[in-house]
Structure 1
Amino acid sequence: MLTGNKGEWSEIYALLKILADQNLFAGDSDLKKIEGLIFPIIKILRDESNGTYEYAYESDLIIIKGADEEFRIPIVQFQEKAVFLLSKLKETTTASFSIPEIETFINSFNCDSLKAKSSVKSDIRIVIHDQRTGTTPELGFSIKSQLGGASTLLNAGKTTNFIYKIENVVLTNQQIQAINEINTRSKIKDRIEKIKELSGTLDFVRTESSVFGNNLTLIDSALPKILSELTCLFFTSSYTKTVDLVNKISEINPLDFNFETDHPYYNYKIKRFLTDVALGMMPAKVWTGKLDATGGYLVVKEDGEVLCYHIYNRNEFEDYLLNNTKLETASSTKHDFGTAYSVDNEQFFKLNLQIRFLK
């Protein structure tokens, strides 16, 4: 029996829903349809454990082709099952569950897994008809669902730590101990505040991971410094949304960019970073800038609507990422950050970057 969480069942829901819709609907930064930007679907490709299956249309039927078999199923059945599955996803409260009615239906055309094959980067590939250019590109998508818990865009790790030197003060061992013993609900913010009370400042030195630092430099040479400022602002202010943090950093302008002509330096560079993370950049792996098969996201909204964001429509994709993510505090003990420490008579403090989608 197939069991999975809401995010995993959402992959099946997205498949049924977009097959029933016969179109992809592009979304804007506010998760609303962009009127007039609709892409008719020619076919869908999904990798199962027993090969790749192709879903195409013939009149009011969906033709499903595997290596040695063909299934012909009325579109209306996909519509009905999508409605039924959505209702189940909305009413279910358990972490992992089965839906026998849907399992029976998808098994009838040899779909035997909730998630696409793990060796494939895209959850689903879709060939669309672009009415503007007359082309039929094949687009790869990861499926993100708002029906379950909010997913992360950038996972925390020691690899996403930023190292800052404590300047303007030499802390005693007793002061370092007192700082590190602060254990309030907002302990990291309060520890930084204590350093400031003692006349200390945090000056960015480097990323803990040279691979992550080099990946950021590859995207934009100013990114390590910008992200260190963004992360520090998150831990010392009430701002959490990425767009609010970027707007505030733009006001402060810590890199002293020339704003005479209103160039959106911080906004542009952070969008580039978010997009590369979305398309495959990982902190612990050397990033060459070469995009994997996933060129975008299908977002399953809470009301069941499915919107597409793709590098194919780069502006909408970037705006979506900027406006629908936030920074959050990961485990400081697990990822080894948030304490003052000494190395060779110099004193340092680490902060960590984790980015999650808004719910």
Structure 2
Amino acid sequence: MATHKRAETLMDSVCEDMEEKPEPYFSFGIIADIQYADIDNGYNFMKTRMRYYRNSLTLLKEAVQEWDSESTKPKFILQLGDIIDGFNVPQKTSDTSLAIILAEMEKLKIPFHHIWGNHEFYNFKRKYLMESKLNSKPLEDEIGQLTINEDTSETRSDQESFYGYHFSPYPGFRFLLIDCYDLSVIGRDTMSIKYGMSLKLLKEKNPNEDLNSPRGLEEEQFVQFNGGVSGAQLNWINSVLASSDEQDEKVVVIGHLPIHLDSTDAICLAWNYKEILSALQSHPCVIGYFAGHDHDGGYSVDASGIHHITFKGVIETPPENQAFGTMYMYEDKMVLKGRGLVLSKTLHYRNGRKEEPVH
């Protein structure tokens, strides 16, 4: 009799555990800063960290194999930018290296959503990127349920347009990809208006001869390898988020550059990160912001309850380790299952009320 009761108690406990762990609505993969090049290992810009250029391809293959082996495959993968390294340029291997990386990704048979980082612009012109497989905007929803007042003047000129879109993989959830190099001197044609604006701003903030140097700067993010978001793009972001507020959606925003100081080194922030952060905090729908760029990674939750995750870079991950993750989305939280250097986390959604942000 006692054994039977013990078995019943054990079974009740198992049932309670099962009730506490419902199936996620959906999942998706995340990987950042692969920076593949067919060259020997070398040090980073500051000569402090080793970069494993060839091995990044091996780590990508392992990530693809693991995503493919999951019992319920991810609905999509977020590739957070810097897919190949700038060292491909002197080697004249940009096209070849990109083709090698994309061939591995295509083995997964699920969509990749691509962000553009500084290394995309070291290797390619914007026009090339818009016509390449790194332009995943064709995966954007044919939105009928959202009414968005977009500034169409932005899209009239290829030289001045930004790369951004949004999609909904599951009812009540939306993902918004933004262009952190909308204002930039590495991603713009030198004859474009935005190049002129960007160069003027950069030189006002950074008097150094080497514009990649933060030496003596009050605002360390104003270096050439970073960029910012234009007023027109901010208006578009606000329009998308306002519509998601009305639809009671939960939104994850994705950009290459971090926008919260506690989630990264100051030198890796977007130029106008405070403006971008303020825009996101003003919309109760936003639950998270995901970025790459800072290979050390980082995490913080801001005063409004938005989770800021900066993902570790594959390029600086030793061969015996890994750096990617799968995010599982639930009604009240998202759960990150990290691999290797990417730590697992349970992230509860903000309460949906507008709060006074504290930066």
TM band (smaller chain): under 0.3
Normalising to structure 1: TM-score of the pair?
Answer: 0.22
Larger radius of gyration: 1
Q: Larger RCO: Structure 1 or Structure 2 (Cα < 8 Å, ≥ 6 residues apart)?
A: 1
Normalising to structure 2: TM-score of the pair?
Answer: 0.22
